[in-house]
Structure 1
Amino acid sequence: MSSTQTAPSSTGVQASPGLWLAFVILVGLNLRPFLTSSGTLARQVAEGLNMPLSSLAWLTLLPMMVMGLGAFCMPSLRRVLALRHVLITSLLLLCLGCVLRWFVPNGASLIATALICGLGVSLLQAGMPGLIKEQFPRHIAQVTGVYSATLMGGGALGAQITPWVSSLTDSWRIALAFWALPISVALWIAWKVVPREAPGANLSPPSLSLLARPRTWTLIVCFGLINGGYASLVTWLATFYQDRGWTAEASGSLVAVLSVAQAIAAFGLPTLAAKNKDRRMWVWLALACQFVGFLAFAYIPDMAPYLWAIIIGIGLGGCFSLLLLVALDHFPDAARAGTLSALMQGGGFPIAALFPMISVQLREISNGFQAGWMLHAAMAVLVAIMAWSFQPSQYANKMRRDDAP
């Protein structure tokens, strides 16, 4: 895999495509463990901090809200701060949030660490799609798939390793703080790879003009509804099966299987879709997997839970990376494509953040998660209908106002 260009690193030497790819992989791996790790230890955390279980929804809701706000702010930040400063500061915030989890005395402080982590993640994931298009212009679909796959794979590692570290150390606090270690490695790579540049280099276009286009809002709603399913599952799937008698380790393994399936689909579907500019067939396939998986969790959760996790993981991972790709497809240049992708995430993540809270409220009303799973199945149908408009031949027309001088 090669790129048509490389950028000088902080040492003054041009960073190779291999180093950039390593950076993309390491960043992706570190964006989700802070979410999945707390979900697998939900009961221990709630008991240790004397929190009601429903309060743990804030550990997902607030970070995802911040992810959205950060994505909206990214184009403006790039006008006053160099990309290197933004990325390194973001990784430092993510690392700090994880370290502080070792010392949390109460629920409010734990939620505050989630907020800090969410702020760091928000700027990282807002900047990555545009960076990928800039550094790998001839391999956008493949590298977007790699990035999405590592993002989902990091979620799998968080779900699988955290209960094991908790059992080994007899401390859920240490288990949650453990994830500062791989973030430190990503920080070191960023220091080596990301070039020094003046603030405002490769400026993105103003966001307001893109927000005036209905297509931007279609992408925002689709992205938000799809990631709402992920947010609910990463927060409550382990608890759902623990309510059915599973241990924390077993339910964590189930979340890990789901995340591995996400990672495979996040890489595989964009790679398959790269052969055709019309991505809709693959989007519909991924949405069909989500629909089947959520209905299975709602009605036959005990029949084949690992199979349901794989099916729904394929749907979630495939949709995430395909929607990133669809957003990037709307413009030929990295600056505008990256801004559109950032706006899609900026508006989408706050929508997604609401669903864990909605799911737990439905659980309290109906005495189970079935209604929440059915809601997400319905959202998959809605997004499938909206995705009909993602016709490549119409992209230029849909965004024409932004092409005007």
Structure 2
Amino acid sequence: MAASQRLHDIGWALTLIVLGLNLRPILTSVSPLLNEIRESSRLGFQGAALLTSLPVLCMGLVALASASVEARLGEGRGIALGLLCILLACAVRGFTVDGGLLLGTALLAGIGVALIQVLAPGLVKRRFAGRVALAMGVYSAALMGGGGLAAWFSPRLASHFGHWQAGLLVWMLPALLALALWLNMPWRSAQPLAAGQSVQAFMGNRRAWLLALYFGFSNCGYMTLVAWLPAYYQQLGWSGRDGGSLLALMTLFQVLAALLMPALAQRTRERRGLLSISLIAQLFGFGGLLLHPADSPLLWIALIGFGLGACFALSLILSLDHLHDPRAAGQLAAFVQGFGFLINALAPALGGWLRELTGGFQATWLLMLACLLAMLALTWRFSPASYWRISSNGGPT
């Protein structure tokens, strides 16, 4: 029985990793190839920013409808449909140069990613009881690792074949693998949520809104860098491939932080110290990008990557900490991600607008610094003693 249970746990851990690997290539495979895509599709800076913003917008909107998603599709069909959307979007990207169609694939892929992201936290809370922080760290590390792999591999594959489409098409393969694996797992079918367990139950809760704002603003640097980091360094004379390598390096440190910091967080319910370290690392990194971008770019990107990796995992764990029931906790995480990703979606578009307005990205880095300082001040509101404020009936959890 012990061996059987161990195999069962390994199977679910592997499934969680494969799911996570599919959630960021739709964003990071585009960024290092953005100049080639813009030239072929005739998209401007703001139009190109939509290739990053639209998926994130979908992530937010679908998360807010997660109660309906779970009730109608369930964990099983919802995640399967999400993987199918990602697969189809990557397949279409491999055979088009039309800007409108590319934006359509961004919407389709965004819906797919969103379906998986709103169902995964509840799955983790239920399947990995007692090890939620560690499991969320593994999931977050896989998510970020997939993004880094795409940023590094896509421009090289595109260069090898002489077509940027090849760098986007290849990501249908891990989606196909994940779909095959998922269809063979004993997932849960559709089940209606109990009263007070939907996203709408948190709409009037001040703590839920604070968590959503915190998730959104502490993580918006990721979407900004995915959209504009290669372009920033191309302005400084770097190649698109080198810019993609910077994104890959950032992801390496994201993965390290996503594994290390939740492992440390597993020992206590106090998250504020680790979250503060994560935000300060980002502050130093964005400050370096602003003031000395050419002097130590690897250091600045390593600091930002570490901070972002830790913030993503820890802010989700912070949300899950507030409720014991897995389904209610999953809906709270959906609420937090929903509004958080809507905030994230604004970051690439705002960066593109500031780039066209000022001719550079310095204003964007200043905006990131302001957001991080505000979130650092907000961090100390989240003491473990205050977790009860999230309860839908006003009592302690």
Determine the C-alpha separation between the residues in 2 that align with 1:32 and 1:265. 17
Partner in structure 2 of residue 374 of structure 1: 366
What do the CA deviations read for 1:249-289 (whole angstroms, capped 9, x no partner)? 11111110001111111111111121121100000000001
Change (3 A) 1:105 1:402: farther
Determine the C-alpha separation between the residues in 1 that align with 2:66 and 2:25. 23
Q: Does 1:33 align with 2:28?
A: no
The CA deviation at 1:358 is: 1.0
Match of 1:171 among 152, 158, 163: 163
Partner in structure 1 of residue 328 of structure 2: 336
Partner in structure 2 of residue 108 of structure 1: 100
**Higher mean displacement: 192-201 or 116-125:** 192-201
What do the CA deviations read for 1:19-54 (whole angstroms, capped 9, x no partner)? 110110001111001100001100011111122233
* Partner SS, residue 380 of structure 2: helix
**Higher mean displacement: 49-58 or 346-355:** 49-58
- What letter is aligned with 1:283? L
Q: Does 1:248 align with 2:240?
A: yes
Determine the C-alpha separation between the residues in 2 that align with 1:166 and 1:203. 50
Match of 1:218 among 185, 210, 222: 210
Q: Does 1:361 align with 2:325?
A: no
The CA deviation at 1:200 is: 3.0
Q: Does 1:137 align with 2:112?
A: no
The CA deviation at 1:389 is: 1.1
Determine the C-alpha separation between the residues in 2 that align with 1:195 and 1:181. 22
Partner in structure 2 of residue 10 of structure 1: none
Change (3 A) 1:204 1:271: farther
Partner in structure 2 of residue 57 of structure 1: 49
Determine the C-alpha separation between the residues in 2 that align with 1:314 and 1:222. 17
**Higher mean displacement: 29-38 or 226-235:** 226-235
* Partner SS, residue 21 of structure 1: helix
Partner in structure 2 of residue 227 of structure 1: 219
Match of 1:288 among 271, 280, 299: 280
Q: Does 1:386 align with 2:395?
A: no
Q: Provide structure 2 residue ranges, at least 5 long, that are not aligned to the other structure.
A: none
Q: Does 1:17 align with 2:9?
A: yes
The CA deviation at 1:384 is: 1.1
Determine the C-alpha separation between the residues in 1 that align with 2:187 and 2:395. 29
TM-score, normalized by length of structure 2? 0.95
- Aligned length, in residue pairs: 395
- What letter is aligned with 1:248? G
TM-score, normalized by length of structure 1? 0.94
Instruction: Say whether the 8 Å CA contact 2:36–2:164 is kept in structure 1.
Output: yes
Determine the C-alpha separation between the residues in 1 that align with 2:90 and 2:195. 32
Partner in structure 2 of residue 122 of structure 1: 114
Partner in structure 2 of residue 84 of structure 1: 76
Determine the C-alpha separation between the residues in 2 that align with 1:130 and 1:320. 16
**Higher mean displacement: 145-154 or 194-203:** 194-203
Partner in structure 1 of residue 34 of structure 2: 42
Determine the C-alpha separation between the residues in 1 that align with 2:114 and 2:314. 19
Q: Does 1:192 align with 2:181?
A: no
Change (3 A) 1:180 1:326: same
Determine the C-alpha separation between the residues in 2 that align with 1:398 and 1:27. 29
Instruction: Say whether the 8 Å CA contact 1:31–1:154 is kept in structure 2.
Output: yes
Change (3 A) 1:64 1:204: farther
Instruction: Say whether the 8 Å CA contact 1:38–1:176 is kept in structure 2.
Output: yes
Partner in structure 2 of residue 305 of structure 1: 297
Determine the C-alpha separation between the residues in 1 that align with 2:83 and 2:277. 34
Q: Provide structure 1 residue ranges, at least 5 long, that are not aligned to the other structure.
A: 7-13
Partner in structure 1 of residue 310 of structure 2: 318
Partner in structure 1 of residue 147 of structure 2: 155
The CA deviation at 1:231 is: 0.7
Instruction: Say whether the 8 Å CA contact 2:198–2:328 is kept in structure 1.
Output: no
Determine the C-alpha separation between the residues in 2 that align with 1:199 and 1:401. 22
Change (3 A) 1:292 1:181: same
- What letter is aligned with 2:282? Q
Instruction: Say whether the 8 Å CA contact 2:207–2:389 is kept in structure 1.
Output: no
Determine the C-alpha separation between the residues in 1 that align with 2:154 and 2:282. 26
